[in-house]
Amino acid sequence: MTENQLNLTGNILRIERSSIHDGSGLRTVVFLKGCPLSCSWCSTPESRNFEFEKGFAAELCLGCGKCAAVCKNNAIYIDPDNKAAVTDRNMCSCCFNCANVCPSNAVKTYGKTMTVSEVMDEIKKDEIFFYHSGGGITLSGGEPISQSDFSAALLRESRLLGINTALESCLYGNYKNIEKLLPWLDTLYADLKHMDYGMHEKWIGEDNSLILENLAKVNQSEYSPQIVIRVPLVPGFNDSDENLLATLQFCKSLNNLKGLELLPYHRLGVDSYRYLGLDYRCGEIPPPTAEWLSSRISFLKEHNSKLVISSGSGFNAK
């Protein structure tokens, strides 16, 4: 890899170690910031914006005023009634000086710039775990194909070190950006949220035609990785018999398909909405049960006994 490629920079949300849900073995997952879609149920709203963001956990604030003292934009004041910091987000430039001085971790920082070389230094620390578990690196987000040169460089550098590579993607983007990643990719986890054009557009902001087109192109590529289809299963949105059967039908067209995973809707990201001052739009959706998930998996297996169909969530479903 050239010096130029090692110095490429990307906008990273965070790096998580020892994940068991994002590929084979233990995975080091690099979450990139920024996603072109806006799923109503998104569990990582802090990953959606391409820009850096500041979050604030009011319940942790001591009202000490250290943050206000270092803010060069005068974006923070201490509310005398609540004795807690208040930030005018319009004046905040996300320099994160306030986070550096906050003694109680009330200020959350979402986003940092890293070079390919810096990310690889983090990944290399886990090589021994990859070796013993059959794991590797997984790029996730946000949407890694939106930072395609950076993502391709990470996958390539990992492959050259013999590290297994995986990508979690919604595949909403220019195919030229997806194509760059394929020669260095072992497994693609492709989100397939709904087979109906109109429902996809209504709940996600864009229709599904580009996604299906890109998935077909990946499948036909000479560099096609093995493909796992992931359906984020949301009650009342995409769990109908009709949509599941349409998903199975589409799966038949993929000759590099390794399996189909259902990821049940959850509310683990609700705190992040509060930290960002955003409304959570799916409060009416009931949290699903393991029985509901088992019944949906059973339904799929009744209609395709050959395809490997599972819960990709750690949910205790059969």
Yes or no: say if 214 and 174 are a contact pair by the CB < 8 Å rule: no
Q: Is 84 exposed, middle or buried (0-12, 13-18, 19+ CB in 10 A)?
A: middle
Smaller CB distance to ligand SF4: residue 39 or 76? 76
102 binds ligand SF4 (CB under 6 A): yes
Does 94 participate in binding ligand SF4 (rule CB under 6 A)? yes
> Shortest gap between Cβ of 15 and ligand SF4 (angstroms)?
21
Q: Could you give the string, one character per residue 2-41, with x where binding to ligand SF4 holds by CB under 6 A and - elsewhere? A: ----------------------------------------
> Is residue 63 at the binding interface for ligand SF4, with CB under 6 A as the rule?
yes
64 binds ligand SF4 (CB under 6 A): yes
Q: Quick one: 56 or 237, whose CB is closer to ligand SF4? A: 56
CB-wise, 106 or 120, nearer to ligand SF4?
106
CA 273 to mean position of chain CA atoms: 15
Which residue number, 110 or 189, has a Cβ lying nearer to ligand SF4?
110
Rounded to 5 degrees, φ, ψ at 150 are -65, -45
Number of residues that bind ligand SF4 (CB under 6 A): 28
- Per rule CB under 6 A, is residue 66 in the interface with ligand SF4? yes
Contact pick of 11, 28, 44, 87 for ligand SF4 (by CB under 6 A): 87
Q: How many angstroms separate the CA atoms of 111 and 32, rounded?
A: 8
> Given the rule CB under 6 A, which of 9-17, 68-76, 173-181, 193-201 is the region that contacts ligand SF4?
68-76
If the CB atoms of residues 92 and 285 are measured against ligand SF4, the closer one turns out to be 92
User: Least distance (Å) from ligand SF4 to the CB of residue 82?
Assistant: 11
How many CB atoms are located within 10 Å of the residue 262 CB?
24
Going by their DSSP bridges, the two strands 257-264 and 309-311 should be labelled as: parallel
Closest distance between ligand SF4 and the C-beta of residue 12, in Å? 17
Which of the stretches 62-70, 198-206, 235-243, 275-283 binds ligand SF4 when contact is defined by CB under 6 A? 62-70
* Candidate ranges 59-67, 162-170, 194-202, 281-289; the one touching ligand SF4 (CB under 6 A): 59-67
The distance of closest approach from Cβ of residue 158 to ligand SF4 in the complex, given in angstroms and rounded to an integer, is 32
Residues that bind ligand SF4 (CB under 6 A): 54, 61-67, 70-71, 73, 75-76, 85, 87, 92-98, 101-104, 106-107
